[in-house]
Amino acid sequence: MTALGTHNLWRPYTQMKTAAPPLEAVATRGSRITLADGRELIDGIASWWTAVHGYNHPHIAAAMADQLARMPHVMFGGLTHAPAERLGQRLAALLPGELNHVFFTDSGSVAVEVALKMAVQLWLNRGETGRTRVLAFRGGYHGDTMGAMSACDPEEGMHRRFGAYLPTQLFADLPRGPEQEAALDALLARHRHELAAVIVETLVQGAGGMLTHPPEVLATVARLARRHGLPLIADEIFTGFARTGSLFACEQAGVVPDILCLSKALTGGTMSLAATVATTEIFSAFWSDDPSAALMHGPTFMANPLACAAANASLDLFETEPRLDQAAAIAARLRDGLAPLARLAGVREVRVLGAIGAVQFTVTPDLADLKRRFVARGVWVRPFGDIVYLTPALTIASGDLDRLIEAVAAVVTETAGG
Ligand SMILES: *Cc1c(COP(=O)(O)O)cnc(C)c1O
């Protein structure tokens, strides 16, 4: 076969011609990934921070096996089932305020698409046309589908090139101080007539570089959105399910968004599932005798029973095991272990929020080289842009967390010391 002919599978965000070939994983357990050649890696990022309970948790596995034997899938049009009904009720009970109306989809990006569609259709249903844009924040990431991508940071290379195809959204800086607050206020006042919603990642802009902001900044965003009569969409796809130290990040700011998106850790890292949750006020704009006022969306695998069973089992674990305490303990360890790196000449900043630790370099390092060095040290850590980060399973053994922090400290010191 030619070199080209062997590349049967497209890889995510990868220039396949120059990238190192992927490592073959054959098994996972707890915070460990076993490779085909027998090596075992300690996972520092929990498969894009989905596997909050560690891999192969027996409670989730048992619930899925049971559901698999009973009914792995059935369509959701005209039918319903206990796993979805139960999950919807539990999410509504856990989420703050009147976030009671749950729309299930298959991935985070699609949950954002549904949130955007809800916001746009909300105004149509209220008889207001022309409100088709959203205000989003610089540094944000909301997914890879076209609508979600249009709300991502406008300067970020991967998305900029699709500009001609994307809807043009409005962008602002997060209101970290009085000047940015005044600017955001003015921007919203000027554009409210054409805006459908404001969308924000709560407390941390993940894929944009693990950029954290204090709860007051989120509270300011919520207050300004309300002042201008705009629904607030909270993208909690990264931050939901204890990653930032509270079950949902918006709780720390006392903010109840109008629409909230969940995915990543929803099934404890086992199945692809997402939820877009709306308040009763939003839902009521779709509740009508007019068929065309219904929300116009319906994925084939909507509310997949197997995924819902996994998510219910994951929620059981949040009730029966001390995930918030574990997140707090990880936060303390990350702070102690990573903070000294801030003194290195080549380190711009160290940021820790909940069970997220990030080290930002002053210049973008050779990422391929860094990735190789982490694997050589027996850890799975995937730097991107100018950051190295850890988002381990909340159940990670303390010895494994030590080894991750040691590996990050060593590789960052080799790269940014001197
Ligand atoms: C990962 C992520 C998404 C997209 O989710 P996918 O499941 O990859 O489509 C959207 N928003 C945020 C904040 C994310 O972290």
Tens digits of residue pLDDT in 343-386:
999 999 999 999 999 999 999 999 999 999 999 999 999 999 99
55 catalytically annotated: no
pTM over 0.85: yes
Q: Which atom of ligand 1 is nearest to the CA of 145?
A: 9
User: How confident is the model over 211-231, as pLDDT tens digits?
Assistant: 999 999 999 999 999 999 999
Distance from the first to the final alpha carbon of the chain:
46
147 lines ligand 1 (CB under 6 A): no
Ligand 1 centre distance from Cα of residue 148 (Å)? 9
Q: For a ligand 1 pocket test, name from 50, 106, 141 the mutation site with the most ligand atoms within 8 angstroms of its C-beta.
A: 141
Q: For a ligand 1 pocket test, name from 109, 110, 212 the mutation site with the most ligand atoms within 8 angstroms of its C-beta.
A: 109
Q: Atom 7 in ligand 1: which residue has the minimum CA distance?
A: 108
Q: For a ligand 1 pocket test, name from 263, 266, 273, 301 the mutation site with the most ligand atoms within 8 angstroms of its C-beta.
A: 263
State residue 1's pLDDT score: 45
139 lines ligand 1 (CB under 6 A): no
State residue 160's pLDDT score: 72
The answer on pLDDT for 320 being more than 60 is: yes
Helices (H) and strands (E) in the chain, counts: 13, 16
Ligand 1 centre distance from Cα of residue 107 (Å)? 7
Going across the sheet that includes 356-361, the strands are 347-353, 356-361, 387-390
Q: Atom 8 in ligand 1: which residue has the minimum CA distance?
A: 108
Spatial separation of the C-alpha atoms in residues 191 and 402, rounded to whole Å: 49
Spatial separation of the C-alpha atoms in residues 283 and 265, rounded to whole Å: 25
243 lines ligand 1 (CB under 6 A): no
299-310 residues labelled b (16+ CB within 10 A) or e (exposed): bebbbbbbbbbb
- Other beta carbons within 10 Å of 392: 30
Q: Averaged over 24-30, what is the pLDDT?
A: 98
389 catalytically annotated: no
165 catalytically annotated: no
- For residues 200 and 172, is the Cβ–Cβ distance under 8 A? no
Spatial separation of the C-alpha atoms in residues 350 and 336, rounded to whole Å: 11
- For residues 114 and 297, is the Cβ–Cβ distance under 8 A? yes
